[in-house]
């Protein structure tokens, strides 16, 4: 636990508070999250801006729009036809079940709100948790692919740990008022340093705490000894 706390402390010290989620409209957060799945932040932002400009990001506009119109707008995010169908379906359900307003769901307790959000098409644990954190200020750290990778590489969790175990370990090691900053800072760390491919280990400020780095150092040393010995 202490090592996890130190990891989070360093990450927060390195990445000072910067960007904050704009507004608190949960429907807009939901659409951005659907667009962000399996694509880059740049592509997600471009797709969202085009959707806003060409269709409108509200349940009424999206429920009435043709799927092809939505697909054309969100093309930069990739998998645009599948996403467009999901976005239209979500918009229709939000209108039918909640009169276009998800805030009533978010006012419920964490577990109840989370379960209800996950009944919407394409809304899994991460998406529900993002809405609960960004729009309802609930005490949760959503786990995206960057955060999951960092938690496993640094040994915060074991290799077979799933989403909720990663989330709990991080939440237990921090104060609740730090959760949003931790979520954003870890994502930035994962994009810039602890990358999926070619991680920048030599520049990492967590080298002394990271078992993956230590393993790589030992492997490199063994390879050098083997090469010198002609093995």
CA-based R_g, the chain, Å: 20
Least Cα distance to 191 among 78, 48, 41, 80 occurs for 41
State both tokens at 135: 């729009």
Q: How far apart are the C-alpha atoms of 226 and 224, rounded to whole Å?
A: 5
Element (H or E) spanning 119, and its range? none
Q: Per-residue b/e over 61-92, b at no fewer than 16 CB within 10 Å?
A: ebbebeeebbbbbbbbbbebeebbebbbbbbe
Compute φ and ψ for 134, nearest 5 degrees.
Answer: -70, -40
205: helix, strand or coil? coil
Q: How far apart are the C-alpha atoms of 59 and 100, rounded to whole Å?
A: 6
State both tokens at 108: 């419920």
Instruction: Please report where in the chains the tokens 């379960």 appear, as a residue.
Output: 115
Q: What is the pLDDT along the chain (231 residues), one digit of tens a residue?
A: 899 999 999 999 998 776 666 656 899 989 988 888 878 888 888 999 999 999 999 999 999 999 999 999 999 988 888 999 999 999 999 999 999 999 999 999 999 999 999 999 889 999 999 999 999 999 999 999 999 999 999 999 988 899 999 999 999 999 999 999 999 999 999 999 999 899 999 899 999 999 888 777 666 554 555 555 555
């Amino acid at each position: 636990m202490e090592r996890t706390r130190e990891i989070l402390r360093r990450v927060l010290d390195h990445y000072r508070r910067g960007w904050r989620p704009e507004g608190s409209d949960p429907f807009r957060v939901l659409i951005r999250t659907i667009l962000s799945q399996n694509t880059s932040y740049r592509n997600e932002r471009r797709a969202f801006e085009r959707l806003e400009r060409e269709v409108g990001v509200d349940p009424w506009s999206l429920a009435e729009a043709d799927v092809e119109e939505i697909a054309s707008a969100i093309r930069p995010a990739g998998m645009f036809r599948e996403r467009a169908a999901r976005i239209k379906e979500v918009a229709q359900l939000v209108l039918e079940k909640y009169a276009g307003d998800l805030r009533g769901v978010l006012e419920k307790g964490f577990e109840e709100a989370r379960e209800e959000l996950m009944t919407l098409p394409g809304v899994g644990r991460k998406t529900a948790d993002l809405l609960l954190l960004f729009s309802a200020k609930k005490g949760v750290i959503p786990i995206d692919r960057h955060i999951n990778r960092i938690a496993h590489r640094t040994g915060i969790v074991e290799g077979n740990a799933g989403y909720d175990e990663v989330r709990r370990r991080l939440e237990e090691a921090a104060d609740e008022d730090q959760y949003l900053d931790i979520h954003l800072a870890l994502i930035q760390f994962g994009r810039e340093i602890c990358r999926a491919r070619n991680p920048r280990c030599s520049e990492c400020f967590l080298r002394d705490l990271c078992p993956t780095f230590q393993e790589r150092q030992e492997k490199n040393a063994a390879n050098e000894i083997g090469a010198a010995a002609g093995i």
